[in-house]
Structure 1
Protein backbone atom coordinates (compact mmCIF):
# COMPACT_ATOMS: atom_id res chain seq x y z
CA UNK A 1 0.00 0.00 0.00
CA UNK A 2 2.80 2.46 0.88
CA UNK A 3 4.28 2.52 -2.64
CA UNK A 4 0.82 2.64 -4.31
CA UNK A 5 -0.20 5.50 -2.02
CA UNK A 6 2.94 7.51 -2.82
CA UNK A 7 2.60 6.71 -6.51
CA UNK A 8 -1.02 7.85 -6.56
CA UNK A 9 -0.11 11.12 -4.86
CA UNK A 10 2.84 11.61 -7.17
CA UNK A 11 0.60 11.06 -10.21
CA UNK A 12 -1.97 13.52 -8.80
CA UNK A 13 0.75 16.14 -8.32
CA UNK A 14 2.02 15.46 -11.86
CA UNK A 15 -1.43 16.25 -13.26
CA UNK A 16 -1.78 19.37 -11.12
CA UNK A 17 1.67 20.57 -12.12
CA UNK A 18 0.86 20.10 -15.83
CA UNK A 19 -2.30 22.18 -15.32
CA UNK A 20 -0.30 24.99 -13.70
CA UNK A 21 2.34 24.78 -16.44
CA UNK A 22 -0.39 25.15 -19.09
CA UNK A 23 -1.73 28.31 -17.39
CA UNK A 24 1.80 29.70 -17.05
CA UNK A 25 2.45 29.02 -20.76
CA UNK A 26 -0.80 30.76 -21.69
CA UNK A 27 0.16 33.79 -19.61
CA UNK A 28 3.64 33.87 -21.16
CA UNK A 29 2.30 33.73 -24.73
CA UNK A 30 -0.04 36.67 -25.21
CA UNK A 31 -0.84 35.64 -28.78
CA UNK A 32 -2.09 32.17 -27.83
CA UNK A 33 -5.78 31.43 -28.33
CA UNK A 34 -6.74 32.04 -24.71
CA UNK A 35 -10.45 31.73 -25.51
CA UNK A 36 -10.10 27.99 -25.93
CA UNK A 37 -10.29 26.27 -22.53
CA UNK A 38 -7.97 23.38 -21.77
CA UNK A 39 -9.40 20.12 -23.07
CA UNK A 40 -8.91 18.23 -19.82
CA UNK A 41 -9.38 20.29 -16.66
CA UNK A 42 -7.66 18.96 -13.55
CA UNK A 43 -9.93 17.35 -11.00
CA UNK A 44 -8.79 16.60 -7.46
CA UNK A 45 -8.35 12.88 -6.86
CA UNK A 46 -10.59 11.17 -4.35
CA UNK A 47 -9.78 8.61 -1.67
CA UNK A 48 -6.02 9.20 -1.62
CA UNK A 49 -5.75 9.94 2.06
CA UNK A 50 -3.14 12.22 3.56
CA UNK A 51 -0.31 13.62 1.45
CA UNK A 52 3.00 11.81 2.07
CA UNK A 53 5.42 14.07 3.93
CA UNK A 54 8.16 13.74 1.31
CA UNK A 55 5.77 15.17 -1.33
CA UNK A 56 4.88 18.21 0.80
CA UNK A 57 7.65 20.48 -0.61
CA UNK A 58 6.53 19.71 -4.16
CA UNK A 59 2.86 20.34 -3.30
CA UNK A 60 3.82 23.64 -1.63
CA UNK A 61 5.78 24.71 -4.71
CA UNK A 62 2.84 23.88 -6.99
CA UNK A 63 0.53 25.87 -4.71
CA UNK A 64 2.91 28.84 -4.85
CA UNK A 65 2.90 28.68 -8.65
CA UNK A 66 -0.91 28.42 -8.71
CA UNK A 67 -1.27 31.48 -6.50
CA UNK A 68 1.19 33.45 -8.66
CA UNK A 69 -0.71 32.47 -11.82
CA UNK A 70 -4.04 33.44 -10.24
CA UNK A 71 -2.58 36.79 -9.17
CA UNK A 72 -1.30 37.42 -12.70
CA UNK A 73 -4.70 36.54 -14.18
CA UNK A 74 -6.39 38.96 -11.77
CA UNK A 75 -3.86 41.69 -12.64
CA UNK A 76 -4.46 41.19 -16.35
CA UNK A 77 -8.24 41.21 -15.92
CA UNK A 78 -8.00 44.51 -14.05
CA UNK A 79 -5.76 45.97 -16.74
CA UNK A 80 -8.18 44.74 -19.40
CA UNK A 81 -11.14 46.42 -17.64
CA UNK A 82 -9.19 49.68 -17.35
CA UNK A 83 -8.24 49.53 -21.02
CA UNK A 84 -11.83 48.77 -21.99
CA UNK A 85 -13.10 51.76 -19.97
CA UNK A 86 -10.51 54.01 -21.62
CA UNK A 87 -11.47 52.74 -25.07
CA UNK A 88 -15.14 53.43 -24.36
CA UNK A 89 -14.30 57.05 -23.51
CA UNK A 90 -12.15 57.46 -26.62
CA UNK A 91 -14.85 56.11 -28.92
CA UNK A 92 -17.42 58.66 -27.70
CA UNK A 93 -14.91 61.44 -27.34
CA UNK A 94 -16.04 62.18 -23.80
CA UNK A 95 -16.57 60.36 -20.55
CA UNK A 96 -19.94 62.12 -20.08
CA UNK A 97 -22.43 62.91 -22.84
CA UNK A 98 -23.01 66.65 -23.26
CA UNK A 99 -25.38 68.59 -25.50
CA UNK A 100 -24.02 69.20 -28.97
CA UNK A 101 -26.09 72.32 -29.83
CA UNK A 102 -26.79 75.37 -27.72
CA UNK A 103 -29.55 77.80 -28.74
CA UNK A 104 -28.11 81.31 -28.23
CA UNK A 105 -30.98 83.12 -30.04
CA UNK A 106 -32.75 84.09 -26.83
Structure 2
Protein backbone atom coordinates (compact mmCIF):
# COMPACT_ATOMS: atom_id res chain seq x y z
CA UNK A 1 0.00 0.00 0.00
CA UNK A 2 2.88 2.37 0.69
CA UNK A 3 4.17 1.84 -2.87
CA UNK A 4 0.90 3.13 -4.36
CA UNK A 5 0.97 6.11 -2.01
CA UNK A 6 4.61 6.85 -2.83
CA UNK A 7 4.00 6.62 -6.58
CA UNK A 8 0.98 8.89 -6.15
CA UNK A 9 3.17 11.41 -4.34
CA UNK A 10 5.84 11.14 -7.04
CA UNK A 11 3.16 11.71 -9.70
CA UNK A 12 1.82 14.81 -7.94
CA UNK A 13 5.35 16.07 -7.25
CA UNK A 14 6.30 15.65 -10.92
CA UNK A 15 3.22 17.57 -12.04
CA UNK A 16 3.79 20.25 -9.42
CA UNK A 17 7.38 20.67 -10.63
CA UNK A 18 6.22 20.85 -14.26
CA UNK A 19 3.66 23.53 -13.39
CA UNK A 20 6.31 25.41 -11.37
CA UNK A 21 8.58 25.52 -14.43
CA UNK A 22 5.77 26.63 -16.71
CA UNK A 23 4.64 29.30 -14.27
CA UNK A 24 8.19 30.67 -14.00
CA UNK A 25 8.34 31.03 -17.79
CA UNK A 26 5.03 32.90 -17.85
CA UNK A 27 6.23 35.12 -15.02
CA UNK A 28 9.44 35.88 -16.92
CA UNK A 29 7.48 36.99 -20.00
CA UNK A 30 5.06 39.02 -17.88
CA UNK A 31 8.03 40.74 -16.22
CA UNK A 32 9.66 41.39 -19.59
CA UNK A 33 6.44 42.98 -20.89
CA UNK A 34 6.31 45.28 -17.86
CA UNK A 35 9.92 46.38 -18.38
CA UNK A 36 9.78 48.83 -21.29
CA UNK A 37 13.59 49.12 -21.52
CA UNK A 38 14.46 45.44 -21.65
CA UNK A 39 16.04 44.31 -24.90
CA UNK A 40 13.66 42.31 -27.06
CA UNK A 41 16.53 40.28 -28.53
CA UNK A 42 17.33 38.63 -25.19
CA UNK A 43 15.93 35.09 -25.47
CA UNK A 44 14.99 33.09 -22.39
CA UNK A 45 18.02 31.19 -21.16
CA UNK A 46 16.20 27.91 -20.59
CA UNK A 47 12.87 27.64 -22.45
CA UNK A 48 10.24 25.41 -20.89
CA UNK A 49 9.73 22.01 -22.47
CA UNK A 50 6.68 19.89 -21.75
CA UNK A 51 7.47 16.91 -19.55
CA UNK A 52 7.10 13.43 -20.96
CA UNK A 53 5.54 10.36 -19.38
CA UNK A 54 3.77 12.17 -16.55
CA UNK A 55 0.35 10.73 -17.21
CA UNK A 56 -2.87 12.59 -16.48
CA UNK A 57 -2.86 15.85 -14.54
CA UNK A 58 -3.98 15.36 -10.92
CA UNK A 59 -7.43 16.89 -10.37
CA UNK A 60 -6.27 19.06 -7.48
CA UNK A 61 -3.71 20.73 -9.80
CA UNK A 62 -6.29 21.52 -12.51
CA UNK A 63 -7.23 25.00 -11.15
CA UNK A 64 -3.55 25.99 -11.10
CA UNK A 65 -2.98 24.66 -14.62
CA UNK A 66 -6.07 26.55 -15.84
CA UNK A 67 -4.82 29.77 -14.21
CA UNK A 68 -1.39 29.37 -15.85
CA UNK A 69 -3.07 28.77 -19.21
CA UNK A 70 -5.16 31.92 -18.78
CA UNK A 71 -2.01 33.92 -18.01
CA UNK A 72 -0.22 32.40 -21.02
CA UNK A 73 -3.08 33.41 -23.32
CA UNK A 74 -3.08 36.95 -21.90
CA UNK A 75 0.68 37.23 -22.40
CA UNK A 76 0.41 35.92 -25.97
CA UNK A 77 -2.32 38.47 -26.72
CA UNK A 78 -0.22 41.29 -25.25
CA UNK A 79 2.80 40.24 -27.31
CA UNK A 80 0.66 40.21 -30.47
CA UNK A 81 -0.64 43.71 -29.68
CA UNK A 82 2.86 45.03 -29.10
CA UNK A 83 4.19 43.44 -32.28
CA UNK A 84 1.36 45.05 -34.26
CA UNK A 85 1.99 48.43 -32.66
CA UNK A 86 5.72 48.06 -33.31
CA UNK A 87 5.11 47.28 -37.00
CA UNK A 88 2.80 50.29 -37.31
CA UNK A 89 5.34 52.54 -35.64
CA UNK A 90 8.13 51.25 -37.88
CA UNK A 91 6.02 51.85 -40.99
CA UNK A 92 5.21 55.39 -39.86
CA UNK A 93 8.82 56.13 -38.99
CA UNK A 94 10.09 54.87 -42.32
CA UNK A 95 7.63 57.10 -44.18
CA UNK A 96 8.56 60.13 -42.10
CA UNK A 97 12.31 59.65 -42.48
CA UNK A 98 12.30 58.93 -46.22
CA UNK A 99 9.34 61.06 -47.25
CA UNK A 100 7.68 58.11 -49.02
CA UNK A 101 4.26 58.91 -47.61
CA UNK A 102 3.94 62.07 -49.68
CA UNK A 103 5.70 62.25 -53.03
CA UNK A 104 5.47 65.76 -54.40
CA UNK A 105 7.88 68.04 -56.18
CA UNK A 106 10.15 70.21 -54.10
CA UNK A 107 10.85 73.77 -55.33
CA UNK A 108 13.53 75.99 -53.93
CA UNK A 109 13.31 79.77 -54.29
CA UNK A 110 16.86 81.05 -54.75
CA UNK A 111 15.70 84.60 -55.46
CA UNK A 112 15.87 85.63 -51.85
TM (norm. structure 1) is: 0.89
Residue of structure 2 aligned with 1:28, choices 14, 34, 37: 34
What's the offset of the Cα at 1:27?
0.1
Task: Give the secondary-structure state (helix, strand or coil) at the position aligned to 2:28.
Answer: helix
Cα displacement (A) at 1:99: 5.2
Of 45, 48, 51, the residue aligned with 1:39 is 45
2:8 matched to 1:2? yes
Quote the RMSD (CA, aligned, Å): 1.4
Render the CA deviation track for 1:55-102: whole Å, top value 9, x for unaligned: 00000000000000000000000000000110011012241545557x
User: Structure 1, unaligned stretches of length 5 or more?
Assistant: 102-106
Q: Aligned pair 1:60/2:61, yes or no?
A: no
- Residue ranges of structure 2 left out of the alignment (5+ in a row): 1-6, 108-112
Moved over 2 A (4+): 96-101
Instruction: Give the 3-state SS of the residue equivalent to 2:20 in structure 1.
Output: helix
> What is the total number of aligned residue pairs between the two structures?
101
In structure 1, the residue matched to 2:56 is: 50
